[in-house]
Every structure is written in C-alpha cells, then in structure tokens.
Structure 1
Amino acid sequence: MTKPETFSAAEQCVDAVLEKVGKRIVLGLPLGIGKANHFANAIYARAEQDPEISLTIYTALTLERPSASSEIQRRFVQPLLDRLYSDYQDLAYNQARRKGLLPDNVEVCEFFMQPGSFLSTPSAQQSYVSANYTHVPRDLLDRGVNVVAQMVSPADDESGDFSLSSNPDLTLPLLKLADERGYRHITMVGEINPKLPFVGGDARVGRGVFDFLLQGDAFEQEIFPAPNPPIRLTDYALAFHIAGLVRDGGTLQIGIGALGDAICHVLTLRQTKNEDYRDILQSLNEDAEQSLCELPLELGVFQQGLYGASEMVPEGFLHLRRVGVMKREVYADATLQRLLNEGRVSNVVNEELLVALRDAERIQCPLTEADTDFLQRAGIVDPSYSWRGHRFLDKHGELEDCDLHSSVGRKKLLGSREGKKLPGGTWLHGGFYLGSTAMYQTLRDMPASEMAGINMTAIDYINELQKGRALKIAQRQHARFVNSAMMVTLNGAVISDGLEDGRVVSGVGGQYNFVAQAHELPGGRSVIAVASTRISGGRIRSNIVWQYPHCTIPRHLRDIVVTEYGVADLRGKTDRDVIVAMLSIADSRFQKELLDKAKAAGKVEQGYEIPEPFSNNTPERIHAVFSQGHRMPLLPYYPLGTDLTREEAQLAIGLKAVKEEGRKIWELWPVLRKGLVACRSSAPEYREVHACLDRMAFGYSDTFEHRLEAYVVAGALVSFVDKDRPLGEVSDARGIRSNIPAPD
C-alpha cells in the first residue's frame, strides 16, 4: 500500500492536491470541530488568488471564535478570546462570506448552520442546502466531491493508524457509498492533531485511507471549546418532564445546549437524589388532575441503565456514565441482544449462554465453521480452538467434539472464557461530539477499557433503521429521541430550522431522521421539547402557534411534545384532541387567543373551555415550585461545569437575559435603575456585582455612554442572577475548575 505523502506546510499540500485533482475542487469538510482548518484556509487563499480555480466547500456547523457587535459584548468576549481561543485559526471562508466578500469562483454550502449566526448573511442563506443528515453523503457524491480534508488523531502505538475521532459521521458512509457506486477516487487529506482525543472502534482507520497528511507543530492546537451555557428554570422544568419519560433499560438521544445539559443533570438527580427528583417532578405535575400522556411517570433509579444512540455526543453523557446511568451495553448480534433484553442470559460467558443461543437457533449443534467463527469473535468460545469438520483442534493438537449437549463438552468449548464478561459491549454510539475543554480532557484521559465502550461511527448507523434493522431494533429498546424546536403548531407540526420569511436559523440536521425512526421502533418515542414562550424585542410571544408557513416535522409524524407546563402525547389522536392537548401545555396568557382560532376553524367545539388544572400555566407557578424548600440549590446554572470564570459565568446569565428584555433605553429602565443603585453602593450584597464590573473593565468608564452601559450590566446581574442557585463548577483564569457555591 502506498504511503501517504506528508507535508509540514498547508500550502505545499494544496500544491499536491491541485496537481492530483485539477482546478475544479469540491471540498467536503466535516461539521463542527473535525475540519482541517489549516488546509481549508490554504486552499481558499489559493482560490482567492487564482480565479481559474473553482472551489465549492460543502460542510456544516462552521465554528468561529466569539465576536462582539457592541461595546458590552466586546468587554465580555475579549478575555475569552485570549484565554480559550488564542491559538484557534478561524476559517477564512466564513469571515469572507459574513462580510459578503466571497470571490465569484468560491461557493460555500452548508446543510446545518451555527444557529442564528447567518440570518443577515445573504450568501449563506442562498447557499444553504436543506437535507436530512443521512442524505448528505449522497448529495456530496452528486455534487462531484473530489477532496475531503479532516482533522485526525494519531494512534499512540506502532500501527500508524489514525482516528476520525470527533467526525466519522459523514466520512465513513461517504467512502462506503463511493465504493458501492464505483465512484472515482476521492482525495483524502488528514490534518494530524495529537490533542484531538483518539477514539477507536469504527472511527479508527488505517494510514492508507489518506493520500496526503499535514503534520507538525503548526497543526497541534487546542480543540475548539463550546462553553456550556447557563440553564434557565424553564429548561429545568422541561428536563424534569422529559426525565419522567425515560425508561430504565432504554435508549437515549439528546442534543447539545442548555436543555441537553439540564436533562442529563435531572437524570443524575433521579439516580443520586431520587427522593428530591420525585418531589420536584410530582410537584410540577400535581395541579394536573387529568393526564395528557398515557405513558407512566418514570420515578425509579436506573438498575439496567441507559444506552446512548445519539448523532451528537453531549458532554452530559459522560456525566451520566460516571453516576451509573449510562451503563446499558449493547452487542453486535441481534439474537444475542434479544436474549439479553429478555433476561434469558446475562453478559457473563457461561453454559447457559451457549444453550440459549442454540435454542434460539443462532448456532447449531454440532457447531458449524460459521458458528465457531461467530462465537470466537463474540468472545464466547476459547480462541485457542480451531474448527476441523465438526470437531475442534485444541492448542495441544487434540481433537474435541463440537457437541453442545453435554456440560463437559460446553465447558471445554468455553475454556478460558468461562465466567468472564462478554466483550464487545457498547454503551454509546455517536456520530460527532462537541463540548467544553473538560469534555476533551476527559476523553483524552479515558482508560482504554472505558473508551472501548464508545463507538463513534457512521451517521446512517445511528439515525436510521434501513441497514441492520433487526439489530438496531434489538439494541434500541424503549428509545427516547429528544430534540428541541423553535415552535409547534396546535395541530402538532414542528418548526425547528427557519423563520416565517424563509430565512434559515440552523437546519434540519437529524431531527426528521429521529422522529421517523421513533415511529418505526417498537416502544420508541420522539420527544419534541419547546419552551412555551420566548422574549423577542422586549415582547413575550408564544411558541405554541396556530399555524406557520412551513414546518420541519409534518403533523402526521406528531408524537410527544413537552413544554415547561407538561407532556402532550399526540400520537394517534384526532386533530381535535391534539389541539386540546397542545392548549393544555401552552402558556395561559395565550390560551384564549389560540383556542378562539381553533374554534373559528371548526377544529374545536364552540363550548370547549380550558380545564382548570391547565389554566394556571405561568412562569410564576414554575418559579414557585422550584423555590420551595431546598430545591434551588439542586439546580445549578452550570450543572456540568463551564469554561467561564466565576465572574464570566454570572455575566453570561445576566447579559443573556438583558438582551432578551429589549434594546431601547425605556425598555431597560427598570434594569438600569437597579444597576445605578448597585454601582453607587458599597454594601456587601453588591460585592459580586463590583467584581463582575471589574472583569468588564468598567472601572475606567469615564464617559456617560460607558457609565450607562455599566449600569445596565450591574442591573442585569441584580435582576437576573438568582442568589439561591449555585453556579456549579467554574474555571479560574488558568482554566482550572472548582466548585463554587451560591454567594452568601
């Protein structure tokens, strides 16, 4: 096998690629952190210089360092850039398209954009590709992809192998589909970064996969961190309702963001502080005299545990693993998996396992050569045996019968494997990961025995059932696929990717895949989570709407919808009953208006009224539930920790809230007034506020405008940072985390 050519400079690699491929380049870049940024920037720079080069970049989720559009944002962001992103190389094509400066010979197509980042960027909106995640390899081939450039991690042994690590999701199925189609050779470029965690399993590939490699100190950089966001009480309310749907012994998929962090934390509470979990969940549901969901409320601790099958591997899964929740292991054989599900066997190698496989007709008696191969690959039959025409040749050259009828024969077959744990168990299948610096360090430090339970793999393995259907059905019992939405209509259609005027906020991603999969899996359910309201331009708006010009998930795939006020089970219900259920989990300030529209359309009878138990859906009720007793200390702002310092963590909470309040000075007057008092006071209760103002360098504010900004920031801290809630684990200026309690 030809060794890949290695370069220490990206420009030299670009020369080699152009010589091999020509001047028409269709470049596939992985989504998220897996991009080969140095190569991408070098080939983009070459296309800028040479108009004869035609460069199409097809990718998703292009990450960029935080930027500031105001003075307040600049004061917050600049120290983060210095501490967390000092050696990160932004992608030049991203900056160019944001400024409208992409040359005519360069096109950038994304099928999923960083949420909300490109609403005002025409080139990004025009070049967006609406596609299911699993269809992207097909689309790439149809577009003529001829180069893929990916960050890879080197093995620490003598094999010379690499790991696709964070992003085997599209690379693996793309290469497989290309081979099946007899597609022309795709030039593979690997950018080697030892700081990228090495993940084995399907993500481990041989050196021969690559045509060119980039290696050297210039490419050894810290991985792009995505600091965990603060969690609102609304997210915690959603998380408790969702945790009450997650069945022990089941399967879980969730995404990145505050809600995913909240769900993982609440599932941790369910396992480690079960009495408190029950108390809060039942309090959130106590006013509802009639259930909107036929599924039983899941209150117990996890005995069997959960298995993760998630396109996005969130940091919270590692926390769930640590507390004994994410521990259900699945195996790569459908019959074996079904026997485990039914409790007919355990994951310990013994005679009962051999007998059960025989009785299930997975193996024959006497064993065939294929049976023997399966049993040895599965770690059941002693590896020292070799099959010889219905007999075994042991390591001493003696022939043994392949008969399973006698205990003596079975024990001989098991040999050294008897009593040992069944190998090959996987507790997490993932497509890509993205998270904080702590997540990356955890993966780098993970023992090999623990890492063996993680299989980063092709996205079509996780997101659909078409290939290996029987195995996936056996593995994914009681599946709960949790995805967020922007809005949901009263008839159950889901809006997750775009605005009313057609502008794209993010993309479809894998949401449709998971919703469709949930309908096909026995016992599977799709859970759409949406906060009942949002604040936009200082106004409260309902996220439960009567209608919308487009949808991401059509109403015929409606399943379970969750707001902070409860769970609506929509599967199989009539339009009238769906609308009534959705009204019951809507914010009460909007229920009458929504109901009137349903009545006007003849979808609900004229005499219908919102039942009393659901007529008090207000933020005040949610806050009252969480404020009782010792509940608030159980709900930290950053339950998984954060890369932010103590002051930054508080500022992130306050600034996010004040941004939602409005932009006009009269809209912010109540906040500004509180800030004025705090800035002028030396009372102990404002000590935290002054520390945060120092972090923002407002001590040197000598203009009226800067003083006004300081008052707004101080007011946001006073108004929106709840002192009864702890921050969680935060970082110091060196990036070292420590657990910080709530201030006195």
Structure 2
Amino acid sequence: MAKPETFNAAEICVDAVLEKVGKRIVLGLPLGLGKANQFANTLYARAEQDPEIELTIYTALTLERPSADNELHRRFVQPLLDRLYADYQDLAYNQARRNGLLPANVEVCEFFLQPGSFLHVNSVQQSYVSANYTHVPRDLLDRGVNVIAQMISPAADGSGDYSLSSNPDLTLPVLELARERGHGPITLVGEVNPRLPFVGGDARVAADRFDFLLEGEAFTKELFAAPNAPVRLTDYALAFHIAGLVRDGGTLQVGIGTLGDAICHVLRLRHCNNADYRDILQSLDVDTERVLFKQPLELSDFQKGLYGASEMVPEGFLHLRRAGVLKRKVFSDATLQKLLNDGVISDTIDENTLIALRDAGRIQCPLTEADTRFLQAVGIVDPRYSWRGHRFLDEHGEIEECDLHSGAGRNKLLGSCAGKPLPDGTWLHGGFYLGSTAMYRALREMPAQEMAGINMTAIDYINELQKDRDLKIAQRQHARFVNSAMMVTLNGAVISDGLENGQVVSGVGGQYNFVAQAHELPGGRSVIALASTRLAGGRIRSNIIWEYPHCTIPRHLRDIVVTEYGVANLRGKSDRDVIAAMLCIADSRFQQELMDKAKAAGKIEADYTIPEVFRNNTPERIHAVFAQGHRLQLLPYYPLGTDLTLEEARLAVALKALKEEGRKLWDLWPIVRKGRSVCKSKAPEYKFVHECLERMEFEYSDTFEHRLEAYLVAGSLVLFLEKDRPLGEVSDLALAPTPV
C-alpha cells in the first residue's frame, strides 16, 4: 500500500480530503480523548464558509474545558483553565450547537453525551442517537461514513508504526465491518501527537493504514485532563459492598467517576490492608443471615489476582496493578486458557504443558505443522526448530522426532522455552481511556514489558461474546461488571441515561452490553450501583422508585443492585421477592412510602413488614461506621490523587456540597452564618479556610455580594469537610506503575 501523505497544516489536509472525498462528508470522530480536534475544527470552519459542503459529524463524549455558570464557579475554574487547559483546543462545533449557531449544512450526532451538559439544549437533545456502544460501527456505515479522523501516537522504535492508543474502540471495528460489507472507501486521517501514550497490541497499526497524516509541532498538544473528583462516604459504602462481591481470580469492569475510584481504592485496601477491609465491610454489612444475597462475602486478599476487561480503562486500574491486584493474565487460545483456569497447567512452561495440550486434543502426537506453528506462536516450542514432514530440523541441521511420548523428546522440543513464563499474557483489555495528567504520564513512562500486558482493542471484543465466544468465556472467569445508575425501580428496572420527560443525560453506552453479557457468562454477574438518595434543590429524594416512564435496562435483565445499605440479588427472583429485597436496601426515610405503593398494586402481601435489621438504613448509621477508630483516615477524598492543588481539592469538596444544598438564601443561611464567624476568626484551625479564600480571590472582597459568597465558601469548607478525613495525594500526582 502507498505511504500516507503528510501535512504540517490542517488547512492543506482538509483540501486533500475534499478533493478525494467530495463535498458530502460523514465524519466519524472517536469518543472522548482521541478526537483529531484541529482537523475537525478546520473542516468545520470550511463547512461554515462553504454551504455546498454537507458535513455530518458522528461521535460521542465531546470533551470541553470546564465552564462557570456563576461567579463562584468562575473564581474556581479560571485558574484551572490557565493551568490545565491552556494548550487544549475546544471543538468549534460544540460551542456552536450550544449557542444554536450550527449552520444548516452541518449536523452533529452523538450516541453518548457528556453527562448532564446538554439537558436544555434542544438541538442536541433532538440529534442524540440512542444506541448500544457495539452497534455504532453498523450505524456509522449505514449513515455512509467516509472519513475518520483520530489523534494517534508515533512509535519510538523506528518502525514507522502508529498507535490508535486511547481509542481503537470504534475505529478498528468500523474498518473491519466496512471490509466485510464491501463498503466504499473510508479516508483515514491521523493527527499525530507524541504526548499521546503509545499503546501496542491491537491498537498498533502500520502507517499505510492512513491516507493522510497531520504531523508537526502544531499538533503536539497536552491531552485533555479529567481531574479526579472528591469521593464521598456514600461512594465508599457502595465500594465496600461491591468489593465483597469480587472473586479472587475473577474479571473486573468498572467505569469512570468517583464510584470507580472508590471501588479501586477499596479493592487495594482488601489486598494491602486486609484486616481493615474486613473490619469495615463486616461493620457495614447488616445482612449477617445472608437474606438478600446467599453467597458469603469475599474477604480474602488477591492471591490469583484480577483481570481487567473494561470498555473504559479507569485510572484506578493502574493503581490496582501497582498494588498487585490486577495481575491475572489471560491468553489468546481457549484451550490453553481453560487448562490454566482449571489448574491443570501453570503459567510456567514445562513438559506438562505439552502433555496437557495433547490430552485436551489441542495438539496431536506426533505434532502436525499447524500444531508446531501454534506452539511456537504461544512460546512453548523452541523457535529454532522448523517443521519438516513429521520431524524437526534445528539450526544445526539436526533432526528431532515430533513425538511427544518421551520426556527427553518433550524437553528437547521445549528447548529455550522451558522454565519460562508463558509470554504475551494480557492483564487488561480496554476500549478507551480518559483520566488525569498523572494517568497519561504513567502510560507514557510505563516500561515496555509492562505495557505489553495492556491490549487496547475493538469495543465489540470487550462488550460482546459473539466473536471468539469460547475464548472470552474462558478468559472472563467470575466476571463482575459494575455500572452506575441514576434510579432503579422496585421491580428492578434500571434508569441510567435520561429523565422522566425524555431529556437525555448521557446515553446507554455499553451498560446494556455488559448486563446482557453477565447473564450469558457462567459465573458472571452484573452489578448496578446507586446511592439510595440524592440531594437536589435542598430536598432529599429517593433513587429507588416505584415506577418511571422509561428504562435503560429492563427488569427481565435484573441481577444485582447495590446501595450504600447493602446488596440485593434479584436474578431469577419473583416480582414479590425482588420488591422485598429492594425495600431492604432503600433509605429508611422512603421505605414506608415505597412499600405502600407495592401493597396497593398487590405486588407484595398486605401484612408484609421489612425485617428489623434493614429498618435503620440512614446516613447517620453509615457515618457512624466510618467514624470509628482510624477508618476515616483510610478513606481519602482523592484516593488516586488529583491534578488539583491542595486548596482546590478542598474547595472542590465544599463547592460540590454547596451546590446540592439549594439556591434559596434561607436554605443557605446556616452556612452563611458559620462562614461569617470563620472569616472573622484568626484561630489557627481556620488558616486553611483563609488560604482557600485567597485562592478564590475573596480575601479583599469589598462588596456585600462578594462577602456573602465568601461566607458561603468559608462555611462550606468548615461544615462539609469531614473531620479526620485526609485529602489524599494532590497537585499533579506522579504515578509510575511498576511490573508485578
């Protein structure tokens, strides 16, 4: 194939694309981090100028720099923009559609929105495409995609290869499906950014896969940072219950966000501070009789370790790798994997490896040419041998039999491979990643041997079982697929993507894929996690509800639901038993109301009562558990670190809590009153408050409005920061995973 044309300016590349493709362009952009922003912006600007260009952009999770919707947020956000995002170029189409300024010849469709960011933008709500993640390649081809533009990373080994790095998830399956269908040509544009980590495996592609490359200093940009947010105690309570479901030797999927951070931290505690983990989990768990979930809690540390199979690779997985938790490797042959699972062989190559493969029928005796190729490909037979008609020829021309009957013969065949670990094992399959600057640096600096265990790949490999089904079943032992929800009905239907009026908050993404997959995998479980309540506009509302006009996951796929109060196993249960279980993990302030509705509908007996042990589901009980001894010290706000400074980390906690309290002055008056006294105090314990006010430039506020805002911030810092709870490591945490 021809080498790609290389340009040092996006304008020239757009000229070349228009000349090749024409003026009707259906542009596929990867979700999240991997978008070719400069190419996309230049193409969009050209379409704005030329109404003859018909441009459709199909993508998801368009990232944009944080913005402020009030003065408090502006004071917090502006320094972040200057420090973390000065080098980031926002996508022009995003701001245009937010302001209702998209030209008539441009259409933007997304199948997953940045959560909550477009609730009141009608054009975005109307152009949203509800689709399972794995169906997007099909939908792209049906729409006639003819250009894909992606940020890529250059290899440093002189090969001339590139990595799709953060986003092989859709690019790989789109190109494969296009070949299978005989779809017309798709022009592939690569925007080369050396700051994007080079990830090998399936994400590594030859230069000739691209038609055009954008390369040069202008495209070497800092990556979009997603600073870790503060983790609340509710997230930690959820995380402990979820960690109690994760089997040693199993498979793990979690998503981005504070819950994922909490889960990874608690799993690390389980391995590294096992006594503390057991102590806290057993204190939180009131279901000692195992009424809601018959299986015992998983309490041991990780001897076998976990394997990660997650569409979204969260930063916490790198921490789990460093801690020795994410260490179970999987291999690309189903029979070999099954033998490892069953303990018939170990991952150290010896003659038993050959015997077991022969007895399992994977290879014959004497070996065939295909057997030889397989054994050498997986690193079991010495690569110096070549197959010659039922005999082997070594580099010296000496002949060996292909017979496996004798120990001496088997050991000769193993040769230099004997005693070595099976090569090319994978400890993490992922579809895309997004995280902090520390995560990107960790991936850039990761030793090659360690990076070889990560395979960023096509999303259908992660999220489905259709292709390579036997292999995936063998790899994904005891899978736990953990996903968040906004609400869950009493009968187990899950709402994750939209509001009651049909407005889309985010999207389905891969949640349905993982839930369905969990029901098909032997030993697999889907875990839906949600806080039992939310605080909105100063009012507490239950996230466990009686009914809702739509759902993301229908009730016939109900499995495990977890709140901060416990774990409800819903799989295979009757409606009555599902409702009873859900009532037991609901907040006690809403249990009676929910139970009354179930009784009125005849779905549970009229004389049913919630067992006494589940009637104290209150935030006070959860806090009391965590407040004992040194437990809070084990649960930092930022367990994975954060790009924020110390003052910013504190402010993020306070401002988030303040936002939930409500907007009316009488709701906030106790906070204002506390803040006023703190602002006037010179007590040493309030020094940190004045440092935070200085960061917000409130120290010299001279107007009543600004002083009132300063009092709100000061009061929030004192009232909402938990005592004796550390922040964790802050200010651009350096993370460098080491081989396990």
Instruction: Give the TM bin, normalised by the shorter chain.
Output: over 0.9
Report what 2:45 is aligned to. Answer: 45
Report what 1:346 is aligned to. Answer: 346
Amino acid at match of 1:149: A
For residue 640 of structure 1, give the secondary structure of its aligned residue in structure 2.
coil
CA–CA separation in structure 2 for the residues paired with 1:120 and 1:185: 37
Report what 1:291 is aligned to. Answer: 291
Amino acid at match of 1:103: P
Report what 2:602 is aligned to. Answer: 602
| Residue 314 (1) aligns with residue 314 (2) | yes
Report what 2:639 is aligned to. Answer: 639
Question: Which has the higher mean CA deviation after the structures are superposed, 675-684 or 333-342?
Answer: 675-684
Structure-to-structure mapping, 1:197-596, within 5 angstroms:
197-286=197-286, 288-596=288-596
Amino acid at match of 2:404: L
CA–CA separation in structure 2 for the residues paired with 1:39 and 1:557: 42
CA–CA separation in structure 2 for the residues paired with 1:453 and 1:205: 17
CA–CA separation in structure 1 for the residues paired with 2:253 and 2:696: 38
CA–CA separation in structure 1 for the residues paired with 2:14 and 2:572: 55
CA–CA separation in structure 2 for the residues paired with 1:233 and 1:301: 23
**Alpha-carbon shift at residue 158 of structure 1 (Å):** 1.8
User: Which digits, 9 at most, give the CA deviation of each residue in 1:528-573, with x for residues without a partner?
Assistant: 0000000111100000000000000000000000000000000000
Report what 2:33 is aligned to. Answer: 33
CA–CA separation in structure 1 for the residues paired with 2:497 and 2:239: 22
**Using a 3 Å threshold, how does the CA distance of structure 1 residues 736 and 493 change in structure 2: closer, same or farther?**
closer
**Counterpart contact for 2:47–2:106, Cα < 8 Å:** yes
Report what 2:707 is aligned to. Answer: 707
**Alpha-carbon shift at residue 722 of structure 1 (Å):** 1.3
User: Which digits, 9 at most, give the CA deviation of each residue in 1:468-514, with x for residues without a partner?
Assistant: 00000000000000000000000000000000000000000000000
Q: Which runs of 5+ in 1 are unaligned?
A: 739-744
CA–CA separation in structure 2 for the residues paired with 1:342 and 1:26: 49
Report what 1:7 is aligned to. Answer: 7
For residue 248 of structure 2, give the secondary structure of its aligned residue in structure 1.
coil
For residue 699 of structure 1, give the secondary structure of its aligned residue in structure 2.
coil
User: Which digits, 9 at most, give the CA deviation of each residue in 1:55-109, with x for residues without a partner?
Assistant: 0000000000000010000000000001100110000000111111111111110
CA–CA separation in structure 1 for the residues paired with 2:733 and 2:361: 55
Report what 2:721 is aligned to. Answer: 721
Amino acid at match of 2:302: F
For residue 729 of structure 1, give the secondary structure of its aligned residue in structure 2.
coil
User: Which digits, 9 at most, give the CA deviation of each residue in 1:706-727, with x for residues without a partner?
Assistant: 1111011111101101131000
**Alpha-carbon shift at residue 295 of structure 1 (Å):** 2.2
**Alpha-carbon shift at residue 166 of structure 1 (Å):** 0.2
Report what 1:628 is aligned to. Answer: 628
**Alpha-carbon shift at residue 701 of structure 1 (Å):** 1.2
Report what 1:664 is aligned to. Answer: 664
User: Which digits, 9 at most, give the CA deviation of each residue in 1:157-207, with x for residues without a partner?
Assistant: 221100000000000000000000011110000000000000000000000
For residue 27 of structure 1, give the secondary structure of its aligned residue in structure 2.
strand
CA–CA separation in structure 1 for the residues paired with 2:520 and 2:460: 15
Report what 2:738 is aligned to. Answer: none
Instruction: Name segments (4+ residues, structure 1) moved above 6 Å.
Output: none
**Counterpart contact for 1:288–1:613, Cα < 8 Å:** no
**Counterpart contact for 1:64–1:90, Cα < 8 Å:** yes
CA–CA separation in structure 2 for the residues paired with 1:379 and 1:300: 33
**Counterpart contact for 1:729–1:737, Cα < 8 Å:** no
CA–CA separation in structure 1 for the residues paired with 2:569 and 2:686: 46
User: Which digits, 9 at most, give the CA deviation of each residue in 1:572-611, with x for residues without a partner?
Assistant: 0000000000000000000000000000000000000111
CA–CA separation in structure 2 for the residues paired with 1:106 and 1:303: 54
CA–CA separation in structure 1 for the residues paired with 2:520 and 2:351: 35
**Counterpart contact for 1:7–1:212, Cα < 8 Å:** yes
CA–CA separation in structure 2 for the residues paired with 1:254 and 1:693: 36
CA–CA separation in structure 2 for the residues paired with 1:290 and 1:445: 46
Amino acid at match of 2:436: S
Report what 1:684 is aligned to. Answer: 684
- Aligned residue pairs total 735
| Residue 60 (1) aligns with residue 33 (2) | no
Amino acid at match of 1:486: M
**Counterpart contact for 2:568–2:582, Cα < 8 Å:** yes
For residue 677 of structure 1, give the secondary structure of its aligned residue in structure 2.
helix
Amino acid at match of 2:566: G
Report what 1:104 is aligned to. Answer: 104
Report what 1:179 is aligned to. Answer: 179
CA–CA separation in structure 2 for the residues paired with 1:535 and 1:621: 18
For residue 252 of structure 1, give the secondary structure of its aligned residue in structure 2.
strand
CA–CA separation in structure 2 for the residues paired with 1:111 and 1:576: 35
**Counterpart contact for 1:730–1:737, Cα < 8 Å:** no
User: Which digits, 9 at most, give the CA deviation of each residue in 1:114-158, with x for residues without a partner?
Assistant: 000000111110000000000000000000000000000000022
Q: Which runs of 5+ in 2 are unaligned?
A: 736-740
Structure-to-structure mapping, 1:72-151, within 5 angstroms:
72-151=72-151
For residue 376 of structure 1, give the secondary structure of its aligned residue in structure 2.
helix
**Counterpart contact for 2:442–2:734, Cα < 8 Å:** no
For residue 365 of structure 2, give the secondary structure of its aligned residue in structure 1.
coil
For residue 86 of structure 2, give the secondary structure of its aligned residue in structure 1.
coil
Amino acid at match of 1:305: G
Amino acid at match of 2:534: R
User: Which digits, 9 at most, give the CA deviation of each residue in 1:421-461, with x for residues without a partner?
Assistant: 11010000000000000000000000000000000000000
CA–CA separation in structure 2 for the residues paired with 1:27 and 1:673: 54
**Alpha-carbon shift at residue 670 of structure 1 (Å):** 1.1
**Counterpart contact for 2:64–2:91, Cα < 8 Å:** yes
Amino acid at match of 2:639: P
**Alpha-carbon shift at residue 737 of structure 1 (Å):** 5.9
Amino acid at match of 1:51: P
**Counterpart contact for 2:287–2:566, Cα < 8 Å:** no
CA–CA separation in structure 2 for the residues paired with 1:689 and 1:256: 30
**Alpha-carbon shift at residue 296 of structure 1 (Å):** 1.9
User: Which digits, 9 at most, give the CA deviation of each residue in 1:296-335, with x for residues without a partner?
Assistant: 2000000000000000000000000001000000000000
Amino acid at match of 1:480: R
**Alpha-carbon shift at residue 288 of structure 1 (Å):** 4.9
For residue 730 of structure 2, give the secondary structure of its aligned residue in structure 1.
strand
**Alpha-carbon shift at residue 687 of structure 1 (Å):** 0.6
For residue 194 of structure 1, give the secondary structure of its aligned residue in structure 2.
coil
**Counterpart contact for 1:289–1:613, Cα < 8 Å:** no
**Alpha-carbon shift at residue 736 of structure 1 (Å):** 6.0
**Alpha-carbon shift at residue 398 of structure 1 (Å):** 1.6
**Counterpart contact for 1:532–1:544, Cα < 8 Å:** yes
CA–CA separation in structure 1 for the residues paired with 2:427 and 2:295: 25
CA–CA separation in structure 1 for the residues paired with 2:214 and 2:33: 17
**Alpha-carbon shift at residue 671 of structure 1 (Å):** 1.0
For residue 416 of structure 2, give the secondary structure of its aligned residue in structure 1.
helix
CA–CA separation in structure 1 for the residues paired with 2:256 and 2:6: 35
Question: Which has the higher mean CA deviation after the structures are superposed, 695-704 or 162-171?
Answer: 695-704
CA–CA separation in structure 2 for the residues paired with 1:703 and 1:168: 53
**Alpha-carbon shift at residue 393 of structure 1 (Å):** 1.0
**Alpha-carbon shift at residue 287 of structure 1 (Å):** 6.2
TM-score, length of structure 1 as denominator length? 0.98
For residue 89 of structure 1, give the secondary structure of its aligned residue in structure 2.
coil
**Alpha-carbon shift at residue 678 of structure 1 (Å):** 0.7
Report what 1:741 is aligned to. Answer: none
